[in-house]
C-alpha cells in the first residue's frame, strides 16, 4: 500500500484527528486546503499532495522528462459502456469493483481492485484491454498513469486519486468476512458523490470533449 493510501485509510478512521491536522504540500510544505490536487510521482507510483504553485511547476517540468504528472480533475460517467462477458472473463477480475490504469512505462494495462487490506494489483490481459478500447472508443482519451477506468455496476473515467479514496474507505470500514453494512454504505456514498461530480459521456466516444 502506498503512503497516500495509508493516509487516506487513517483519515477515514480518525476524522477528529484529521480536522486538527493541516495537510501540507509534499513538495514545498505549504499548508493545503482539505480539497487539493495531487501529483503522481511516476517512479514509485506514489501520489503527492500538492499546492497550486507546485502543480504548475512540476507538471510543466514533466514535459521535459520530469518525474511528476498532475492528476486531472475530469470525471466521466460512461453511458452505453460495453463490457461483454467474454472481455470480463478475460480480465479475470476477482471482484465486481475494479479499476484499470494504462501504464505508460510498459504500455500495458494494470488491473487493481480494493480489498480489506488495500489495493491489490494484478496484471491485466492486454487483449481484453484492446477489446474494451475497441468497444468503447472513449477509452482512447484515458490519460496514462493518472486516470483510471473504474468499473462497478457502471463504468467511469476518473482521476486515480478517486480510486485510492475508494480503496481507503473500503479498507477503513471493512468488517468481518463480507465487509458488512458500514462498508456498503461508504461505497454507495462514494458512487453517489462521484455521480454528482461527473458529466455523462457516451462510451462510443466523440471528438468533442464536454466542458
Ligand atoms: Zn507546493
Ligand atoms: Zn492530498
For residue range 8-37, list pLDDT tens digits in order: 444 444 444 444 468 899 999 999 998 899
Mean local confidence (pLDDT), 147-173: 95
The answer to whether 36 and 23 have CB atoms below 8 angstroms apart is yes
The model's confidence at residue 141, banded by pLDDT at 50, 70 and 90, is very high
Cα separation of 94 and 117, whole Å? 15
Q: What is the pLDDT of residue 12?
A: 46
Residue 87 is placed in which grid cell?
A: 472481455
pLDDT at 44 over 80: yes
Q: What is the pLDDT of residue 19?
A: 46
For the chain, give the longest Cα–Cα distance.
49
Give 132 Cα–ligand 1 centroid separation in angstroms. Answer: 37
Cα separation of 81 and 170, whole Å? 25
Q: pTM (2 decimals)?
A: 0.84
Give 146 Cα–ligand 1 centroid separation in angstroms. Answer: 19
Give 77 Cα–ligand 2 centroid separation in angstroms. Answer: 23
Give 146 Cα–ligand 2 centroid separation in angstroms. Answer: 14
pLDDT one-digit tens code per residue, 62-102: 655 678 999 999 999 999 999 888 888 888 777 789 999 99
Amino acid at each position: 500500500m502506498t503512503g497516500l493510501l495509508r493516509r487516506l485509510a487513517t483519515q477515514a478512521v480518525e476524522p477528529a484527528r484529521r480536522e486538527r491536522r493541516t495537510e501540507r504540500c509534499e513538495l514545498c510544505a505549504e499548508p493545503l486546503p482539505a480539497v487539493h490536487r495531487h501529483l503522481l510521482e511516476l517512479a514509485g507510483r506514489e501520489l503527492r499532495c500538492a499546492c497550486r504553485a507546485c502543480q504548475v511547476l512540476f507538471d510543466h517540468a514533466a514535459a521535459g522528462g520530469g518525474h511528476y504528472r498532475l492528476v486531472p480533475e475530469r470525471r466521466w460517467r460512461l453511458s452505453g459502456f460495453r463490457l461483454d462477458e467474454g472481455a470480463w472473463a478475460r480480465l479475470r477480475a476477482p471482484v465486481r469493483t475494479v479499476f484499470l490504469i494504462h501504464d505508460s512505462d510498459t504500455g500495458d494495462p494494470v488491473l487493481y481492485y480494493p480489498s480489506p487490506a488495500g489495493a491489490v494489483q494484478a496484471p491485466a490481459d492486454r487483449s481484453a484491454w484492446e477489446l474494451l478500447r475497441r468497444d468503447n472508443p472513449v477509452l482512447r482519451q484515458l490519460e496514462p498513469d493518472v486516470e483510471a477506468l473504474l468499473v462497478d455496476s457502471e463504468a467511469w473515467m476518473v482521476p486515480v486519486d478517486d480510486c485510492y479514496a475508494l480503496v481507503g474507505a473500503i479498507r477503513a470500514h471493512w468488517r468481518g468476512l463480507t465487509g458488512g453494512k458500514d462498508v456498503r454504505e461508504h461505497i454507495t456514498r462514494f458512487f453517489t458523490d462521484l455521480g454528482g461530480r461527473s458529466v455523462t459521456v457516451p462510451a462510443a466516444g466523440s471528438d468533442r470533449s464536454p466542458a
